Amino acid sequence: MRPRDAHRPPGMIVDRAGEAAGATARTATDVAAAQNSILNLKISIDLANQRATAYTSPGPAICRRHDVVMTAG
Q: What is the DSSP string of 4-70?
A: GGTTS-GGG---HHHHHHHHHHHHHHHHHHHHHHHHHHHHHHHHHHHHHHHHHSSS-EEETTTTEEE
In tens, the pLDDT along 51-63 reads: 777 666 566 666 6
Give the model's pLDDT for residue 73. 47
Global pTM value: 0.43
Instruction: Give every residue of the chain whose pLDDT is below 70, as ranges.
Output: 1-15, 54-73
Q: pLDDT value at position 46?
A: 87
Q: What is the model's pLDDT at position 64?
A: 63
